[in-house]
Amino acid sequence: MENTILLQLYSFLIYLISGIIIGVLFDIFRILRKSFRTPDFVTYLEDILFWLLTGIFLLFVLFQFSNGEIRVYQIIAILIGNVFYLLSISKFFIHINVAVLTFIKHIIGSILKVVLAPIKVLWTCIRKILMPLPFFVINIQKTIAKSDSKIENKKKKKNKQEKMTTERRILKRNVEKYN
């Protein structure tokens, strides 16, 4: 009988620890939500993932330590472990991990700023060089269009003059014939 009570006590402690582990898993998802802004759809996916992982974990523990038998005291132990964790350690766990993730995000951001700074400078220089290019192209097009119109005007004038000289020649010939 003593052996049975020790086994049940051992099982109770296992499920108590399982409740604490579920609380830690829950806090990990809470930390991710506080550290990274995600759309509602991703939050729904995270919730589904949490429940899937929790279910798989509980099934593993059930089959590993009690041959798949579910007893009321096991459920009570899981709840007690989870509530104990959430009321005592959870706030510190979240606070510390959010601070660590924020620090890591800050370091990664600083490293990216240092790495990307030369690229930004290069990009700015390229943009400054290429920015006036459309204006030059437009001005060149306008200049070409103006010179084309001047050339056309000169051609028209020349054609007019040629036409007039041709008409004058014809007129002179006619005048000479009749004189």
Model confidence at 145, pLDDT cuts 50, 70, 90, reads low
Q: Please list, in sequence order, all residues whose beta carbon lies within 8 angstroms of the beta carbon of residue 25, skipping any fewer than 6 positions away.
A: 50, 53, 54, 57
Domain boundaries, the chain: 2-105, 131-178
d(CA 86, CA 92): 10
Instruction: Detail the DSSP E strand segments found in the chain.
Output: none
Amino acid 26: pLDDT: 93
**For the chain, what percent of residues have pLDDT higher than 70?**
75
Q: Rounded to the nearest 5 degrees, what angle is found at the Cα of 114, between the Cα atoms of 111 and 116?
A: 105
From the list 47, 79, 61, 69, the residue with the least C-alpha distance to 14 is: 61
**For the chain, what percent of residues have pLDDT higher than 90?**
30
Q: pLDDT tens digit string along 33-90? A: 888 888 888 889 999 999 999 999 999 999 998 888 888 989 999 999 999 999 999 9
d(CA 12, CA 178): 138
d(CA 45, CA 151): 70
Q: Please list, in sequence order, all residues whose beta carbon lies within 8 angstroms of the beta carbon of residue 138, skipping any fewer than 6 positions away.
A: none
Measured CA distances, 86 to 17, 30, 109 (Å): 13, 12, 32
